[in-house]
Amino acid sequence: MAHNRSLLFLLAAIIGTLIAIVAHPLVPDRELSIVPEPDLDVIFALYGDSVEGGPSHSEWVGPEEDRLWRCRVEEEGTPVYCGMNIILSHDPLKGLDLTAYHAVDLRLHADGHDKKVQFFMRHYDERYSNPDDNNSAQFNKFDFLPGELDGSIHLHFEELNLADWWSRERLLPRELRRPAFHNVIAIGIGYSDAMTPGNYDVKIERISFVGDWISAELWYLSILLFWLAGLMIWALRRLRLLAVKARRQRRSLDLLTNRNESLKEESERYKHLSSRDPLTGAYNRYGFEQRLSELLHSEEFHPLALILLDVDHFKQFNDTYGHDVGDKVLRHLVNLLDRHTRQQDVLCRWGGEEFLLLCPATTVENAACLAEKLRSLIAEEGLKEEDIEISLTASFGVCQLAEGESYVDAFVRADRALYSAKHQGRNRVVPADASQSH
């Protein structure tokens, strides 16, 4: 279900993006109207060269609200200037920032003559403008040829050029010789060519600045940022999901690891129990045979010696003190043997009160010495049980596996030696007769 929702969201985003790509040209333009209904308080100022003795006069034909402007030339003469200023601000130094607009929409009618009509914009910049000189503001203009004023005109700002006369009068760096629009103090229309006597009328029906509410660059950048943000959100969500999944997998792995460890420990415990005598903790016959097999196949532990021992008169302990004391005797004996033998020696409860000690890398002479030491310790320590002191002795049969001799044969020799120790009066160590080995 979540996958289907993601696909639907992706499809909706793609469709929305395609619509947004083609929709920008359809978004209505922002507009700042100057004529006929100005969106700000403007001042219309007419000018001509008659004040300087020239031939041109600038005047309204009819009421000013009709916006029918006339340049009246009385006599032919030198090039005239005649026009109309629309002052955009009452502060001569602070105009309008038109950088949010890219064009001006004009609807002008100039019938009855073949003269060029000029549209201009004046920009004030303190780096080259002088508040005491009206002509110091940057003069950007476009000249309409005869016949170009029929109908509506969409004049882009990039079509405007600096007036030659304004550039020639100033030696400005390159960056200041470009048309600027961030502080436009006035716009206007006018004539600047030599003109024959007569009336030159211009009907002003519309002047409006137009621009995008959001530029195409910002519009498409927003689409790109939307996708980048979407991809980032998707990536973060995927990372979060992967992190959650990884945590779950880690938990599952930890559970499996713990379970495996538990099973391993359980297996080791059962393995230990299966190879140990439950009463004394010494190896049982199965465990002893496993260790014997390992040692027989390793030359490192040769020669191998066997010490077979039996607790003397053990049946009397059970008959006299009970089986509980008999069990304590066996546990005490195993504890003593563990404390006084090596780590690599293998102690096995062979049956009842009989124990078998396998000594790796040990000759029969060394095994006999060890057996004698153990015999002496057993006899010296005995067993103290509450108010009872029990004297213990054990008989030992010792042999060494001869080269080529099987373990069974060696065990038989050790058993015969033990029998001999019992027969000779117990509490003694008897080495097996090597001549009996096969």
| CB 427 within 8 Å of CB 312 | yes
132 part of a folded domain: yes
What pLDDT shows up at residue 185? 95
Is 261 catalytic? The answer is no
pLDDT in tens, 347-356: 999 999 999 9
Q: Tokens representing 337?
A: 């043997």
Distance separating alpha carbons of residues 425 and 315, to the nearest angstrom: 17
259 part of a folded domain: no
pLDDT over 90 percentage in the chain: 50
- Mean pLDDT, the chain, as a whole number? 88
Q: What CATH number is attached to the domain comprising 394?
A: 3.30.70.270
Q: What CATH number is attached to the domain comprising 48?
A: 2.60.120.430
pTM here is 0.54
267 part of a folded domain: no
Given the residues 353, 385, 403, 405, the one annotated as active site: 353
What pLDDT shows up at residue 434? 59
427 part of a folded domain: yes
What pLDDT shows up at residue 312? 94
Distance separating alpha carbons of residues 253 and 287, to the nearest angstrom: 34
Angle (nearest 5°) at CA 411 between 313 and 271: 90
Angle (nearest 5°) at CA 115 between 112 and 117: 105
Task: Tell me: do 75 and 209 sit in the same domain.
Answer: yes
Total tally of structural domains belonging to the chain = 2
> Which SS3 state, helix, strand or coil, does residue 337 take?
helix
Task: Tell me: do 158 and 43 sit in the same domain.
Answer: yes
pLDDT in tens, 235-282: 898 899 899 998 999 888 888 888 888 778 776 667 766 789 999 999
Of 314, 312, 425, 333, give the one whose Cα is nearest residue 383. Answer: 333
What pLDDT shows up at residue 118? 92
Q: Tokens representing 302?
A: 């040769």
Which of the residues in the chain have pLDDT under 50?
Answer: none
102 part of a folded domain: yes
End residue of a domain, out of 164, 194, 213: 213
Angle (nearest 5°) at CA 90 between 85 and 93: 90
What pLDDT shows up at residue 53? 78
Of 138, 132, 143, 249, give the one whose Cα is nearest residue 192. Answer: 143
What pLDDT shows up at residue 18? 85
Task: Tell me: do 209 and 77 sit in the same domain.
Answer: yes
pLDDT in tens, 332-346: 999 999 999 999 999
What pLDDT shows up at residue 282? 93
DSSP state of 296: H
Task: Tell me: do 34 and 173 sit in the same domain.
Answer: yes
170 part of a folded domain: yes
Task: Tell me: do 344 and 198 sit in the same domain.
Answer: no
Find the domain containing 387 and state its range: 285-436
What pLDDT shows up at residue 110? 84
231 part of a folded domain: no
2 part of a folded domain: no
